[in-house]
Protein backbone atom coordinates (compact mmCIF):
# COMPACT_ATOMS: atom_id res chain seq x y z
CA UNK A 1 0.00 0.00 0.00
CA UNK A 2 1.41 3.47 -0.83
CA UNK A 3 2.22 6.01 1.85
CA UNK A 4 -1.03 7.82 2.66
CA UNK A 5 0.20 10.96 4.40
CA UNK A 6 3.11 13.32 3.90
CA UNK A 7 5.72 12.19 6.47
CA UNK A 8 5.84 15.74 7.84
CA UNK A 9 2.11 15.44 8.72
CA UNK A 10 2.31 11.86 9.90
CA UNK A 11 1.65 11.13 13.58
CA UNK A 12 4.21 9.52 15.83
CA UNK A 13 3.45 5.87 16.68
CA UNK A 14 2.38 6.74 20.24
CA UNK A 15 0.02 9.46 18.95
CA UNK A 16 -1.48 7.13 16.32
CA UNK A 17 -2.17 4.36 18.83
CA UNK A 18 -3.90 6.80 21.18
CA UNK A 19 -6.28 7.65 18.33
CA UNK A 20 -7.26 4.00 17.73
CA UNK A 21 -10.30 2.82 19.77
CA UNK A 22 -10.90 -0.62 21.20
CA UNK A 23 -8.13 -1.27 23.73
CA UNK A 24 -6.41 -3.75 21.41
CA UNK A 25 -2.81 -2.78 22.20
CA UNK A 26 -1.19 -4.78 25.02
CA UNK A 27 2.18 -3.06 24.95
CA UNK A 28 4.69 -1.31 22.71
CA UNK A 29 8.38 -2.24 22.39
CA UNK A 30 10.44 0.69 21.04
CA UNK A 31 12.69 0.16 18.06
CA UNK A 32 16.32 1.16 17.76
CA UNK A 33 17.51 4.70 17.07
CA UNK A 34 15.11 6.63 14.83
CA UNK A 35 12.51 3.86 15.28
CA UNK A 36 12.09 4.46 19.03
CA UNK A 37 8.82 6.31 18.33
CA UNK A 38 8.69 6.57 14.53
CA UNK A 39 6.31 8.64 12.48
CA UNK A 40 3.72 6.52 10.66
CA UNK A 41 2.65 7.80 7.24
CA UNK A 42 0.96 4.66 5.90
CA UNK A 43 0.56 0.90 5.95
CA UNK A 44 2.13 -1.89 3.97
CA UNK A 45 2.78 -5.60 3.81
CA UNK A 46 5.94 -6.99 5.39
CA UNK A 47 7.51 -7.26 1.95
CA UNK A 48 6.50 -3.83 0.63
CA UNK A 49 6.37 -1.53 3.68
CA UNK A 50 8.82 1.35 3.77
CA UNK A 51 10.53 3.11 6.68
CA UNK A 52 7.53 5.36 7.43
CA UNK A 53 4.97 2.55 7.39
CA UNK A 54 3.42 0.07 9.81
CA UNK A 55 2.88 -3.60 8.97
CA UNK A 56 1.60 -6.69 10.77
CA UNK A 57 2.24 -10.43 11.11
CA UNK A 58 -0.39 -13.00 12.05
CA UNK A 59 1.47 -16.30 11.62
CA UNK A 60 4.99 -17.56 12.40
CA UNK A 61 5.37 -18.83 8.82
CA UNK A 62 6.01 -15.21 7.79
CA UNK A 63 9.00 -14.80 10.11
CA UNK A 64 11.39 -14.90 7.15
CA UNK A 65 9.66 -11.80 5.74
CA UNK A 66 9.83 -10.18 9.17
CA UNK A 67 13.62 -10.49 9.11
CA UNK A 68 13.80 -8.53 5.85
CA UNK A 69 11.06 -5.93 6.33
CA UNK A 70 11.86 -2.23 6.04
CA UNK A 71 8.79 -1.21 8.07
CA UNK A 72 9.47 1.06 11.03
CA UNK A 73 6.77 -0.66 13.11
CA UNK A 74 5.19 -4.13 13.05
CA UNK A 75 2.07 -5.35 14.86
CA UNK A 76 2.89 -8.78 16.30
CA UNK A 77 1.27 -11.52 18.33
CA UNK A 78 2.61 -11.97 21.89
CA UNK A 79 4.14 -15.36 21.02
CA UNK A 80 5.98 -13.86 18.05
CA UNK A 81 7.39 -11.11 20.28
CA UNK A 82 8.76 -13.86 22.54
CA UNK A 83 10.62 -15.32 19.55
CA UNK A 84 11.95 -11.90 18.53
CA UNK A 85 13.22 -11.23 22.04
CA UNK A 86 15.32 -14.42 21.87
CA UNK A 87 17.19 -13.42 18.70
CA UNK A 88 20.92 -12.80 19.02
CA UNK A 89 20.67 -9.55 17.06
CA UNK A 90 17.94 -7.11 18.18
CA UNK A 91 15.43 -6.11 15.50
CA UNK A 92 15.45 -2.46 14.37
CA UNK A 93 11.69 -1.85 14.17
CA UNK A 94 9.22 -1.01 16.92
CA UNK A 95 6.69 -3.69 17.85
CA UNK A 96 3.07 -3.28 18.86
CA UNK A 97 2.00 -6.34 20.86
CA UNK A 98 -1.58 -7.33 20.15
CA UNK A 99 -3.67 -10.51 20.31
CA UNK A 100 -5.61 -9.44 17.22
CA UNK A 101 -3.07 -7.97 14.76
CA UNK A 102 -5.37 -8.07 11.74
CA UNK A 103 -8.12 -6.23 13.61
CA UNK A 104 -5.72 -3.57 14.84
CA UNK A 105 -4.42 -3.18 11.29
CA UNK A 106 -8.03 -2.68 10.13
CA UNK A 107 -8.61 0.00 12.77
CA UNK A 108 -5.41 1.80 11.77
CA UNK A 109 -6.40 1.57 8.09
CA UNK A 110 -9.74 3.17 8.97
CA UNK A 111 -7.91 6.02 10.70
CA UNK A 112 -5.71 6.64 7.66
CA UNK A 113 -8.73 6.46 5.35
CA UNK A 114 -10.31 9.22 7.43
CA UNK A 115 -7.11 11.27 7.80
CA UNK A 116 -6.28 11.40 4.08
CA UNK A 117 -9.76 12.54 3.00
CA UNK A 118 -10.29 16.25 2.39
CA UNK A 119 -12.70 18.01 4.70
CA UNK A 120 -16.28 17.24 3.67
CA UNK A 121 -18.20 20.23 2.36
CA UNK A 122 -21.67 20.23 3.89
CA UNK A 123 -23.96 21.35 1.10
CA UNK A 124 -27.01 20.44 -0.95
CA UNK A 125 -26.28 20.60 -4.67
CA UNK A 126 -28.50 22.92 -6.67
CA UNK A 127 -29.54 20.10 -9.04
CA UNK A 128 -30.91 17.88 -6.23
CA UNK A 129 -34.69 17.44 -6.19
CA UNK A 130 -35.98 17.21 -2.61
CA UNK A 131 -39.64 16.98 -1.68
CA UNK A 132 -40.56 19.81 0.69
CA UNK A 133 -41.98 17.33 3.23
CA UNK A 134 -38.62 15.58 3.62
CA UNK A 135 -36.64 16.20 6.82
CA UNK A 136 -32.93 16.67 6.16
CA UNK A 137 -30.53 17.30 9.08
CA UNK A 138 -28.39 20.45 8.63
CA UNK A 139 -25.13 18.45 8.52
CA UNK A 140 -26.22 16.19 5.60
CA UNK A 141 -24.38 16.43 2.27
CA UNK A 142 -26.41 15.83 -0.90
CA UNK A 143 -24.73 15.52 -4.30
CA UNK A 144 -25.80 16.39 -7.85
CA UNK A 145 -29.01 15.00 -9.35
CA UNK A 146 -30.18 13.29 -6.17
CA UNK A 147 -33.94 12.72 -5.86
CA UNK A 148 -35.48 12.49 -2.38
CA UNK A 149 -39.18 11.66 -2.05
CA UNK A 150 -41.94 12.79 0.31
CA UNK A 151 -41.68 12.43 4.09
CA UNK A 152 -38.11 11.07 4.01
CA UNK A 153 -35.90 11.53 7.05
CA UNK A 154 -32.12 11.73 6.72
CA UNK A 155 -30.19 12.12 9.96
CA UNK A 156 -27.04 14.05 10.85
CA UNK A 157 -23.69 13.70 9.06
CA UNK A 158 -25.03 11.41 6.34
CA UNK A 159 -23.82 11.75 2.76
CA UNK A 160 -26.01 11.10 -0.28
CA UNK A 161 -23.82 10.95 -3.38
CA UNK A 162 -24.60 11.89 -6.97
CA UNK A 163 -27.51 10.28 -8.76
CA UNK A 164 -29.11 8.50 -5.79
CA UNK A 165 -32.89 8.06 -5.92
CA UNK A 166 -34.72 7.78 -2.59
CA UNK A 167 -38.43 7.01 -2.53
CA UNK A 168 -41.16 8.19 -0.18
CA UNK A 169 -41.06 7.56 3.60
CA UNK A 170 -37.46 6.36 3.61
CA UNK A 171 -35.42 6.79 6.80
CA UNK A 172 -31.60 6.90 6.79
CA UNK A 173 -29.71 6.97 10.10
CA UNK A 174 -26.89 9.22 11.18
CA UNK A 175 -23.41 9.11 9.57
CA UNK A 176 -24.54 6.89 6.71
CA UNK A 177 -22.96 6.98 3.26
CA UNK A 178 -24.73 6.28 -0.02
CA UNK A 179 -22.30 6.06 -2.93
CA UNK A 180 -23.43 7.27 -6.37
CA UNK A 181 -26.53 5.77 -8.04
CA UNK A 182 -28.06 3.91 -5.12
CA UNK A 183 -31.81 3.33 -5.46
CA UNK A 184 -34.00 3.01 -2.37
CA UNK A 185 -37.69 2.22 -2.78
CA UNK A 186 -40.53 3.60 -0.66
CA UNK A 187 -40.67 2.86 3.05
CA UNK A 188 -37.19 1.38 3.52
CA UNK A 189 -35.59 2.05 6.93
CA UNK A 190 -31.78 2.16 7.26
CA UNK A 191 -29.94 2.50 10.57
CA UNK A 192 -26.90 4.55 11.52
CA UNK A 193 -23.44 4.32 9.94
CA UNK A 194 -24.62 2.38 6.90
CA UNK A 195 -22.44 2.18 3.78
CA UNK A 196 -24.28 1.40 0.53
CA UNK A 197 -22.21 1.08 -2.63
CA UNK A 198 -23.05 2.13 -6.17
CA UNK A 199 -25.80 0.38 -8.06
CA UNK A 200 -27.42 -1.23 -5.01
CA UNK A 201 -31.21 -1.49 -5.13
CA UNK A 202 -32.97 -1.71 -1.77
CA UNK A 203 -36.63 -2.51 -1.33
CA UNK A 204 -37.63 -3.59 -4.85
CA UNK A 205 -40.59 -5.94 -5.19
CA UNK A 206 -40.01 -9.54 -4.22
CA UNK A 207 -40.52 -12.23 -6.84
CA UNK A 208 -44.14 -13.05 -6.02
CA UNK A 209 -46.57 -14.43 -8.62
CA UNK A 210 -49.60 -16.75 -8.54
CA UNK A 211 -50.78 -18.91 -11.50
CA UNK A 212 -53.70 -17.12 -13.15
CA UNK A 213 -55.47 -19.26 -15.77
CA UNK A 214 -58.12 -16.54 -16.16
CA UNK A 215 -55.58 -14.47 -18.07
CA UNK A 216 -54.09 -17.14 -20.32
CA UNK A 217 -52.74 -20.66 -20.18
CA UNK A 218 -49.55 -20.52 -18.09
CA UNK A 219 -50.08 -16.86 -17.13
CA UNK A 220 -49.04 -15.36 -13.81
CA UNK A 221 -50.76 -12.81 -11.60
CA UNK A 222 -48.59 -10.44 -9.60
CA UNK A 223 -48.73 -10.67 -5.79
CA UNK A 224 -48.33 -7.13 -4.36
CA UNK A 225 -45.35 -6.83 -2.04
CA UNK A 226 -46.84 -5.01 0.94
CA UNK A 227 -43.98 -5.41 3.43
CA UNK A 228 -40.85 -3.28 3.62
CA UNK A 229 -37.11 -3.60 4.20
CA UNK A 230 -35.57 -2.83 7.60
CA UNK A 231 -31.79 -2.45 7.86
CA UNK A 232 -29.97 -2.17 11.21
CA UNK A 233 -26.93 -0.17 12.29
CA UNK A 234 -23.41 -0.58 10.88
CA UNK A 235 -24.55 -2.49 7.79
CA UNK A 236 -22.52 -2.42 4.56
CA UNK A 237 -24.07 -3.36 1.22
CA UNK A 238 -21.90 -3.93 -1.85
CA UNK A 239 -22.12 -2.65 -5.40
CA UNK A 240 -25.07 -3.90 -7.49
CA UNK A 241 -26.47 -5.93 -4.60
CA UNK A 242 -30.25 -6.16 -4.39
CA UNK A 243 -32.39 -6.72 -1.29
CA UNK A 244 -36.12 -7.14 -1.89
CA UNK A 245 -38.94 -5.89 0.30
CA UNK A 246 -41.28 -8.38 1.97
CA UNK A 247 -44.62 -9.62 0.68
CA UNK A 248 -46.43 -9.34 4.04
CA UNK A 249 -43.66 -9.50 6.65
CA UNK A 250 -40.61 -7.23 6.37
CA UNK A 251 -37.25 -8.27 4.98
CA UNK A 252 -34.73 -7.61 7.77
CA UNK A 253 -30.96 -7.12 7.86
CA UNK A 254 -29.88 -6.95 11.50
CA UNK A 255 -27.02 -4.88 12.95
CA UNK A 256 -23.56 -5.36 11.49
CA UNK A 257 -24.54 -7.41 8.42
CA UNK A 258 -21.93 -7.18 5.64
CA UNK A 259 -22.95 -7.95 2.05
CA UNK A 260 -20.44 -8.09 -0.80
CA UNK A 261 -21.10 -7.10 -4.41
CA UNK A 262 -23.80 -8.64 -6.64
CA UNK A 263 -25.69 -10.48 -3.93
CA UNK A 264 -29.43 -11.20 -4.15
CA UNK A 265 -31.54 -11.36 -0.97
CA UNK A 266 -35.14 -12.43 -1.63
CA UNK A 267 -38.32 -11.17 0.00
CA UNK A 268 -39.17 -11.92 3.63
CA UNK A 269 -35.61 -13.03 4.45
CA UNK A 270 -34.06 -12.27 7.82
CA UNK A 271 -30.26 -12.03 8.10
CA UNK A 272 -28.90 -12.16 11.66
CA UNK A 273 -26.50 -9.73 13.27
CA UNK A 274 -22.89 -9.66 12.01
CA UNK A 275 -23.44 -12.23 9.30
CA UNK A 276 -21.19 -11.69 6.25
CA UNK A 277 -21.74 -12.86 2.66
CA UNK A 278 -19.22 -12.87 -0.18
CA UNK A 279 -19.99 -11.91 -3.76
CA UNK A 280 -22.70 -13.49 -5.91
CA UNK A 281 -24.56 -15.28 -3.10
CA UNK A 282 -28.25 -15.86 -3.77
CA UNK A 283 -30.74 -16.27 -0.91
CA UNK A 284 -34.27 -17.27 -1.93
CA UNK A 285 -37.31 -15.81 -0.21
CA UNK A 286 -38.51 -16.43 3.36
CA UNK A 287 -35.18 -17.83 4.55
CA UNK A 288 -33.80 -16.98 7.99
CA UNK A 289 -30.04 -16.92 8.50
CA UNK A 290 -28.70 -16.62 12.04
CA UNK A 291 -26.09 -14.38 13.59
CA UNK A 292 -22.32 -14.48 12.97
CA UNK A 293 -22.64 -16.69 9.89
CA UNK A 294 -20.36 -16.50 6.87
CA UNK A 295 -21.59 -17.43 3.39
CA UNK A 296 -18.90 -18.06 0.79
CA UNK A 297 -19.02 -16.57 -2.70
CA UNK A 298 -21.54 -17.91 -5.23
CA UNK A 299 -23.34 -20.04 -2.64
CA UNK A 300 -27.04 -20.64 -3.29
CA UNK A 301 -29.53 -20.92 -0.42
CA UNK A 302 -33.02 -22.25 -1.10
CA UNK A 303 -36.17 -20.57 0.14
CA UNK A 304 -38.14 -21.14 3.36
CA UNK A 305 -35.09 -22.47 5.21
CA UNK A 306 -33.74 -21.77 8.68
CA UNK A 307 -29.98 -21.59 9.17
CA UNK A 308 -28.80 -21.25 12.77
CA UNK A 309 -26.16 -19.07 14.36
CA UNK A 310 -22.42 -19.52 13.67
CA UNK A 311 -22.87 -21.51 10.47
CA UNK A 312 -20.10 -21.13 7.88
CA UNK A 313 -20.88 -22.10 4.28
CA UNK A 314 -18.02 -22.68 1.83
CA UNK A 315 -18.03 -20.94 -1.52
CA UNK A 316 -20.16 -22.43 -4.27
CA UNK A 317 -22.23 -24.56 -1.89
CA UNK A 318 -25.94 -25.18 -2.51
CA UNK A 319 -27.89 -25.26 0.78
CA UNK A 320 -31.23 -26.99 0.28
CA UNK A 321 -32.19 -28.00 3.84
CA UNK A 322 -32.31 -26.44 7.31
CA UNK A 323 -29.00 -26.18 9.20
CA UNK A 324 -29.30 -26.08 12.98
CA UNK A 325 -25.82 -27.10 14.17
CA UNK A 326 -22.96 -24.54 14.15
CA UNK A 327 -19.98 -25.46 11.99
CA UNK A 328 -18.62 -25.40 8.47
CA UNK A 329 -20.63 -26.86 5.59
CA UNK A 330 -19.34 -27.62 2.11
CA UNK A 331 -21.11 -29.01 -0.93
CA UNK A 332 -18.73 -28.38 -3.80
CA UNK A 333 -17.91 -31.16 -6.26
CA UNK A 334 -14.24 -30.61 -7.24
CA UNK A 335 -13.51 -29.73 -10.85
CA UNK A 336 -11.60 -32.13 -13.09
CA UNK A 337 -10.71 -32.62 -16.75
CA UNK A 338 -13.96 -32.80 -18.65
CA UNK A 339 -13.73 -36.48 -19.61
CA UNK A 340 -12.93 -37.46 -16.02
CA UNK A 341 -15.81 -35.33 -14.76
CA UNK A 342 -18.20 -37.07 -17.17
CA UNK A 343 -17.11 -40.51 -15.92
CA UNK A 344 -17.53 -39.47 -12.28
CA UNK A 345 -20.90 -37.88 -12.97
CA UNK A 346 -22.09 -41.10 -14.63
CA UNK A 347 -21.12 -43.05 -11.50
CA UNK A 348 -22.94 -40.58 -9.22
CA UNK A 349 -26.11 -40.98 -11.28
CA UNK A 350 -25.99 -44.72 -10.59
CA UNK A 351 -25.48 -44.43 -6.81
CA UNK A 352 -29.14 -45.12 -5.99
CA UNK A 353 -29.13 -48.30 -8.08
CA UNK A 354 -25.81 -49.42 -6.63
CA UNK A 355 -27.13 -48.81 -3.10
CA UNK A 356 -30.14 -51.03 -3.74
CA UNK A 357 -27.95 -53.80 -5.15
CA UNK A 358 -25.59 -53.56 -2.17
CA UNK A 359 -28.46 -53.82 0.31
CA UNK A 360 -29.79 -56.87 -1.55
CA UNK A 361 -26.39 -58.53 -1.37
CA UNK A 362 -26.10 -57.76 2.35
CA UNK A 363 -29.48 -59.38 3.01
CA UNK A 364 -28.46 -62.48 1.07
The whole-angstrom separation of Cα 217 and Cα 209 is 15
270-271/195-196 β-pairing: unpaired
- From first to last of its 364 residues, the chain has per-residue pLDDT tens of 455 677 778 899 999 999 998 889 999 999 988 889 999 999 999 988 988 899 999 888 888 888 889 999 999 999 999 988 887 778 889 999 999 999 999 999 999 888 877 777 789 999 999 999 999 999 999 999 999 999 999 999 999 999 999 999 999 999 999 999 999 999 999 999 999 999 999 999 999 999 999 989 999 999 999 999 999 999 999 999 999 999 989 999 999 999 999 999 999 999 999 999 999 999 999 999 999 999 999 999 999 999 999 999 999 999 999 999 999 999 988 788 999 989 888 888 888 888 898 898 988 8
Q: What is the pTM of this model?
A: 0.88
As annotated, the active-site residues are 267
CATH of domain 13-116: 3.40.1390.10
The whole-angstrom separation of Cα 133 and Cα 138 is 15
The residues, any chain, with a CB within 8 Å of residue 42's CB and separated by 6 or more, are 1, 2, 3, 4, 5, 10, 50, 52, 53, 54, 112
What per-residue confidence (pLDDT) applies to 3?
Answer: 56
Cα of 315 vs its chain's centroid, Å: 15
The CATH superfamily label for domain 129-329 reads Hexapeptide repeat proteins (2.160.10.10)
What per-residue confidence (pLDDT) applies to 341?
Answer: 87
- DSSP string over 295-355: E-TT-EE-SS-EE-TTEEE-TTPEE-S-B-S-EEE---PPP--HHHHHHHHHHHHTHHHHH
* CA distances (Å), origin 69, targets 48, 137, 184: 8, 48, 47
Amino acid sequence: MPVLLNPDRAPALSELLRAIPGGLVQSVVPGIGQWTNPRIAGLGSLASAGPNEISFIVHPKYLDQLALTQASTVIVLPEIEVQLAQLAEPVHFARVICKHPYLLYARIAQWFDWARMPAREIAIHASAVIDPTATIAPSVTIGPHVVIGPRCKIEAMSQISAGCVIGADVEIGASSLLHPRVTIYDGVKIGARAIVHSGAVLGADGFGFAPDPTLARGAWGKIPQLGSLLIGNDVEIGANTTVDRGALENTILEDGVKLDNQIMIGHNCRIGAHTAMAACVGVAGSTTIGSRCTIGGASMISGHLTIGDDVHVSGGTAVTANVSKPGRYTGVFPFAEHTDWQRNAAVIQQLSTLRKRLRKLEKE
